[in-house]
Chain A
Amino acid sequence: ILNVEQSPQSLHVQEGDSTNFTCSFPSSNFYALHWYRWETAKSPEALFVMTLNGDEKKKGRISATLNTKEGYSYLYIKGSQPEDSATYLCASSTSGTYKYIFGTGTRLKVLA
């Protein structure tokens, strides 16, 4: 994998459903993996920064896992609420560069 790829591109779920998204990234020279939530008309908001293989992070109903050897991360949302509706972006950074490479995002819509 040369780029950061996210799936699915978009997702509609019912309130109360649990859901998960995938982020695939280049595993060579890996440095850090970031997850952001971006609501319309707001700034992207950092959710997690993960660096170690096997890392698991949690913030309320949202959690994320990281596999640096195979180059993927999962973001989980338990009991989705309408306020979770947003675009979820992941970004990878590699050693030797300062930039974050973003995926195209997963657009989540939670229906009440």
Chain B
Amino acid sequence: DTGVSQDPRHKITKRGQNVTFRCDPISEHNRLYWYRQTLGQGPEFLTYFQNEAQLEKSRLLSDRFSAERPKGSFSTLEIQRTEQGDSAMYLCASSLRTAGEAFFGQGTRLTVV
């Protein structure tokens, strides 16, 4: 499969725990995005990488959220001290060009109990 893959697909965690999600983009894509989607809303931008550089972060991204893309390949999104409000679908996407067609993974659904 040469699409964007995300792991895990589902995660249930207790409030206060840390979680980490992984995204493997399409191999030749140097642009990578993280989005969050909650019920009834469209995907909400979290952060953007070009190669290994994190070039844009949403102001909504609290200091409990951190993302990395070492060596410009896969990316991880970590949420520390999870809260119930963090429950959402976390989507990763990659693209070849800025504002070009973005290819999405199937997402990681996080439930904080």
Contact = CB atoms under 8 A, between A and B. Distances in A.
A103 B103 CA distance: 17
Interface of B: 3-4, 31, 33, 35, 40-45, 48, 50, 55-56, 58, 91, 98-107
Contact of B42 (A42, A98, A102): A102
Interface residues of A, number: 25
B101 to A, nearest CB: 5
A74 B12 CA distance: 38
Most chain B beta-carbon contacts within 10 A, residue among A45, A100, A103, A104: A100
Given A43-B4, A49-B100, A99 B42 contact: no
A65 B103 CA distance: 22
B43 A93 contact: no
A101 B48 CA distance: 13
Nearest to B47: A99
Given A42-B106, A44-B91, A46-B102, A100 B33 contact: yes
A100 B101 CA distance: 11
